[in-house]
Amino acid sequence: MKRKIAFVINYFYPDFASTGQLMTELCQDLQNDFDITVIAAQPGYAGEKIKTTNKFEIEQMENMKIIRIKLPEVDKASKWSRMKYIFSYFVLAQIALLREQKVDLIYTISQPPVLGGLIGTIGKFLKRAKHIYNIQDFNPEQAAAVSYTNKQSVFKVAKAIDKMNCSYADKVIIVGNDMKETLVKRFSNKRIPSHVVINNWTNENEIIPLDRDNQPIHNFLYENKLENKFIIMYSGNIGLYYDLENIIKVTDEFKGYKDLAFVFIGEGAVKDAMQSYIKEKEIENVYFLPYQPKDFIKYSLNAADVHLVVNQKGIKGVSVPSKIYGVMAAGKSILGVLEQGSEAQMLIEKSNNGIVVEPQDYEGIRNAIEYFYQMDKSKLRALGLNGREYLEQHLKREISISKYREVLKEVAER
């Protein structure tokens, strides 16, 4: 008989969040091995309006049962709005989990921060189930890196709770080798929880290198007035942990470059501030576009010449920007704004598919942009394809999902 797993994962298809896309693919690939129930919020990551009035709605997706939770709309620029959303999710997801019958294994992720893991800790004891805790981002370390609050007591309490989540989990899954160092540091080398590193991924069969004369890419460029432009693109969450509100200021030095375009695709807490800066400085070669549909990302990624993969200072060992896998799959060069020794920096170095600049080194970012802009087209293309080759050898989707399958089976059958 199949073991029953409850995935409590906040974002799930058709949400645009990268973790939602990863978890959707993971559940789809495991649905024949396990009896899967997914507990997730109603789609709303990109500001979609939720029409239902029901707190819980149940639907079927292939062989999986999906429990959708209705949550309040969130203004990502407002801390109060974020907290209201997070605590509503925590309470309702916990209720949905406790209602589920005969759960063998609870799988939670580190979203929302700290409370995502706490759902699994509580559920483990009340449901007498096993718990796997997948840490996509370490918090409160991530929030502390950007000084989200100056109340140190909040960080201390949050860290104590999340250490407890790790301690009581039957297995902790982290997504980068640098994150392993953070886990070890949390416990000062004493009684470190059982853990494993499993990289995130992209669907390398779906996202492949494509030329600009591909019709959907050509249409995308034409519709957004980006034809014949050298494009530097950022695609993903325009949020608090990437220093984008400062990186955007580098574009002022390139506003006279008529054939150079900076394209930011996505939504997030600092987007309004970035747009205000561009308007104030009258910079005409910076473009903001909404999230692209999942089945169109393979084209939008290929529209760029260079992709920005960035993290704020202090994020090393705390989070891995999962967008790097899609960029590598598309065979595009990377301008990384990353700390030395971070997972993404090491991937760029090992694959030789880009340039890395330290966070907050804005002169270095400017110089790297100029270097890419002047680079021979054939050399730029070869640099990007190095990333694709490395991904095919070391980072295929099936490699990571096979590791998940083995871990989930081992823990569920103990």
The string of DSSP letters for 203-257 reads -TTTS----TTSHHHHHHHHHTT-TT-EEEEEES---TTS-HHHHGGGGGGGTT-
Is 322 domain-assigned? yes
Predicted pLDDT at 125: 96
> How sure is the predictor about 214, in pLDDT bands with cuts at 50, 70 and 90?
very high
Domain that holds residue 9: 4-201+396-412
CA-to-CA separations, 194 to 132, 170, 213, in angstroms, rounded: 10, 7, 49
What is the C-alpha to C-alpha distance for residues 226 and 103, in angstroms, rounded to an integer? 51
Residue 1, pLDDT score:
83
Confidence of residue 235 (pLDDT cuts 50, 70, 90): very high
| 261, pLDDT greater than 70 | yes
246 occurs within a structural domain = yes
> What is the domain count for the chain?
2
CA–CA separation, 39 and 58 (whole Å): 9
Q: Do 229 and 185 lie in a common domain? A: no
Same domain, 194 and 99: yes
Query: Is residue 102 in a domain?
Result: yes
Mind listing the pLDDT tens digit for each residue in 192-203?
A: 999 999 999 999
Same domain? 278 vs 364: yes
Among 215, 211, 222, smallest CA distance to 304 is for 211
Q: How many residues does the chain have?
A: 414
pLDDT value, residue 47: 52
Does the pTM surpass 0.75? The reply is: yes
Residues 47 and 175 in one domain: yes
Q: Is residue 207 part of a domain?
A: no
Q: Grade residue 345 by pLDDT with cuts at 50, 70 and 90.
A: very high
Helix 115-127 vs helix 79-99: crossing angle, to nearest 10: 20
| 265 & 349 share domain | yes
pLDDT at 62 over 90: yes
* Strand pairing category for 56-61 and 64-69: antiparallel
Q: Answer yes or no: do 37 and 170 share one domain.
A: yes
CATH of residue 281: 3.40.50.2000
394 Cβ contact partners less than 8 Å away, ≥ 6 residues apart: none
Q: How far does the chain reach from its first CA to its final CA, in angstroms?
A: 15
Q: Which of 268, 280, 301 is nearest to 46 (CA)?
A: 268
Residue 98 has pLDDT above 90, yes or no: yes
365 & 406 share domain: no
Residue 109's φ and ψ, nearest 5 degrees, are: -120, 170
Answer yes or no: is 368 within a domain.
yes
- What mean pLDDT, rounded, does the chain reach? 94
**Considering the domain boundaries, does residue 88 fall inside one?**
yes
pLDDT per residue as tens digits for the range 284-300 = 999 999 999 889 999 99
Answer yes or no: is 206 within a domain.
no
Least confident of 77-81, 92-96, 101-105, 237-241: 77-81
User: 156-172 pLDDT, tens per residue?
Assistant: 999 999 999 999 999 99
| Residues 33 and 146 occupy one common structural domain | yes
Query: What average pLDDT score do residues 340-360 get?
Result: 97
**Rounded to an integer, what distance in angstroms lies between the CA atom of residue 290 and that of residue 19?**
18
Whether 281 and 370 map to the same domain: the answer is yes
